[in-house]
Amino acid sequence: MQSNPDRIRQQLAQHPLPYQIICDPEAKLYKQFEITASADMKDIVGPHTMLKAARAKKEGYTHGQYEGIETQLPATFIIAQDDTILSAYYAKHVDESATAEYLKNALQ
């Protein structure tokens, strides 16, 4: 993610994750792994994006501080301890991410 590592560390202090997040505020890895951003926000909105955003807002979630490129598409990589990429998932929409099923299969 493009966030500042200190900010993420603070946010995760109360709710730690069982995996590591790599912060890349300068987008070096995004460029290296060809994780694209769109020139226009309308190009990254999927069929369920607005519904998901409305549901999140209703549950009290808000957009955090704006960081990085807002039209950046997400990607998920599973990386072995020897730095080998075991799996790469490139999203087509901003609200898309690798599913638990995808991750489970990729780790087998």
Is 89 a residue whose pLDDT tops 90?
yes
* pLDDT of amino acid 58: 94
CA proximity to 73, closest of 107, 39, 26? 39
Read off the pTM. Answer: 0.70
pLDDT tens track for 4-31: 999 889 988 888 888 888 899 999 999 9
Confidence bin at 88 (pLDDT 50/70/90): very high
* pLDDT of amino acid 87: 92
Is 107 a residue whose pLDDT tops 90?
no
Contacts of residue 49, defined as CB under 8 A and 6 or more positions apart, other chains included, come to: 93, 94, 95
